[in-house]
Amino acid sequence: MLDNSRTPVLDTEGAGVLPRPPVPSGTATQRPGFYVPVTVKFVLLLVFALAWMAFSIWLSQPWLRELSLLAGLPLAIVAIAFIAYLPGLMNAFLAGSILSDRRPRRLAIQHYPDLDVLVACFNEAGNIADTLQSLSLQDYPGRIRVTVIDDGSTDDTQDIARRQGARLSTPDIFFQTNSLATNVGKAGALNQGLAATDAALVITVDGDSYLRTDAIRKLVERFLSDPPNTVAVAGAVLVRNSRENWLTRAQEWDYFHGIAAVKRMQSMFHGTLVAQGAFSLYTRDALEQVGGWPDCVGEDIVLSWAMLKTGARIGYCEEACLFTNVPETLGQFARQRQRWSRGLMEAFGRHGSLLVKPRLSTFFIWWNLMFLPMDLVFTLVFIPGIIAAFFGYFWVVGLMTLLVLPLAMLWNAIIFHAQQRMFKTQGLAVRRNVGGFLFYSLGYTLLLQPICVLGYGSELLGFRKTWGTK
């Protein structure tokens, strides 16, 4: 067993395409203890999840027979499969992945590479000053150039960004603002920012966000510590305005609990599916290889899938934390999540061949494909089933549904424990938000999944697309 009690120090100075230097002799990047190869771990977890699904199928036979009498066997199988069997398999695999995650340590670096940070924004006069302030406070030891791309804003975003940038610029971090005469969309704005810069590493940050002081440093360290074929790393996006109302409180749990856990699982098997535009790192070579950000509503997921298509890996750094403002009204929330749903369909439309690409991350491409029928069945079958149960008809929602609640609590407890442990290592504490958790656990999907169905429909019908969540 190699001695890895001390963290190796790497020198990346002068690395134009930022290759990972070999780990010095006598050290290792794995955590101490017995190491299980990723492929073996994947197979074991998949077997466990399939066994759990098989047990669910056996347990649900009375439910299947009763529903078959009402709707026929084929429809009953479809309904129960997408309400219970597939979600159960996903939860089992996710929980097992979180429990078995032993990712390599972030490596210390002697010389940190120069960075370009792109901040594409539209009408962010109320937020852009805070975002730039948080960038100026980064403890990153290398040089940073921040380029704000104002995408034809109609408010004071441009003027505020220029004044704030001039005030905050130092020899180590320089701020500049590029103003576009007309609105070209987020992808177009980012591509113009990419063309105006030249660093080998590019980071994107949304104009309504606030970074922890160590966020960029940890994101770069994770990139340089990950396997050599890593071309992007997603940061951890958390909620900044969670105390506004019941909706933002629920979204705090969605970002902290759901989205973060899924990204952590996917990165464990070398295929984070979305390096989100709100906070991610990319290599310039990879961006240029796929032609930059695509002109579509889901530019970040379509870009990520284009990178995965080349055989590259996308990672995730749960320790690089950025806080963003989430939608505060139902209308804003609906527009954001419909945009995300449309982006998923765009990704399948442009890169559906990933469904047959022989690699571990293909499993998660199929996983995402299952969201479409799951959301549809949940909206058209499960929600009406809840309404029917209030009138004494328990064809869809009944005793079997109640049996799932303890299991859901177990999955949630596993994920919460992992996230809470990560927070503690960062000197953070999970804020008390019981009401938000209860709504997130019991009612959030009743709101979210019908909105997703509307997003799928909007994409199929070719409705007009705009960038921005609000």
Q: Tens of pLDDT along 316-361? A: 999 999 999 999 999 999 999 999 999 999 999 999 999 999 999 9
pLDDT value of position 466: 64
Q: Is 123 left (phi over 0), alpha (psi -120 to 50) or beta?
A: left
* Tens digit of each residue's pLDDT (9 = 90 or more) over 278-321: 999 999 999 999 999 999 999 999 999 999 999 999 999 999 99
**Mean pLDDT, to the nearest integer, of 61-85?**
93
All domains in the chain, ordered by first residue: 38-100 (no CATH), 108-329 (3.90.550.10), 362-460 (no CATH)
pLDDT value of position 23: 32
pLDDT class of 20 with cuts at 50, 70, 90: very low
- Against a cut of 0.85, is the pTM above it? yes
pLDDT class of 421 with cuts at 50, 70, 90: confident
User: Which secondary structure element, helix H or strand E, spans residue 376, and what is its range?
Assistant: helix 371-377
pLDDT class of 429 with cuts at 50, 70, 90: confident
pLDDT class of 33 with cuts at 50, 70, 90: low
* Tens digit of each residue's pLDDT (9 = 90 or more) over 370-382: 999 999 999 999 9
User: Rounded to a whole number, what is the largest CA-CA distance in the chain?
Assistant: 74
pLDDT at 15 over 90: no
pLDDT class of 6 with cuts at 50, 70, 90: very low
Of 364, 349, 337, 360, the closest CA to residue 452 belongs to 337
- How many whole angstroms separate alpha carbon 261 and alpha carbon 248? 19
Strand boundaries in 8-97, DSSP class E: 9-10
